[in-house]
Structure 1
Amino acid sequence: MTDQTPDRYVSFLGLDCTGKADRLMEMLAAHMDGTDSRWVGYFERKLAEKTRMGADNLHFVGSQVNALMAFFEETGDKAAQDLLWNLEQTCC
């Protein structure tokens, strides 16, 4: 018997959800390195969980939309906020 489990990202074809999530994670890392925000510790713990669970960046972003938005609002990164909004609307 073959595995008939569908790819969970099949509906995202052509949207570059993975690439967008990867870019957002780069933005997150850059801000985490440049601030002493209370969010840094939170994201350090969540990123460690992500690694232990083997989750991809899109899963992480979808799971952390509200926290990510609050952090990017705090840092004033409008480009990151816009990218997160786009990801949430089209990919999550």
Structure 2
Amino acid sequence: MNDHTPDRYVTFLGIDCDAKADRMMEMLSARLASTDSPWVRYFEQKLAEKARMATDNLHFVGSQINSLYSFFEEAEDEEGLDLLWHLEHNCC
């Protein structure tokens, strides 16, 4: 790339996808704890599956991208949506 922006198809260096996925999981956990949305039960099940399969946070975010968008849209969480967009377009 000409603008020196890291190219995710060449390397993840400089993008810090794992830390951003960890942050997304922290945001998800905080939101789940503060809502009675039907999404809570859904994500409880998916997080239990994640634990059983021992997958990392980036894998979880990539696998649940549409559900996460719906949840953060419902919560009107712009910070969560922005981070999710960044993860989708740069890391997944």
TM-score, normalised by the number of residues in structure 1: 0.88
Structure 1 runs (4+) deviating above 2 angstroms are none
Name the counterpart of 2:47: 47
- Structure 1 unaligned spans of 5+: 1-9
Equivalent positions of 1:1-92 (< 5 A) are 11-92=11-92
Matches of 2:11 and 2:32 in 1, distance apart?
32
- Shift in Å, 1:11: 2.5
Describe the SS at the equivalent of 1:13. Answer: coil
Tell me the amino acid that sits aligned with residue 80 of structure 1.
G
Question: Which structure shows the bigger proportion of residues in helix conformation?
Answer: 1
1:41-80 Cα offsets, whole Å, 9 max, x none, are: 0000000000000000000000000000000000010000
Identity percentage over the alignment? 65
How many correspondences in the alignment? Answer: 83
- Structure 2 unaligned spans of 5+: 1-9
TM-score, normalised by the number of residues in structure 2: 0.88
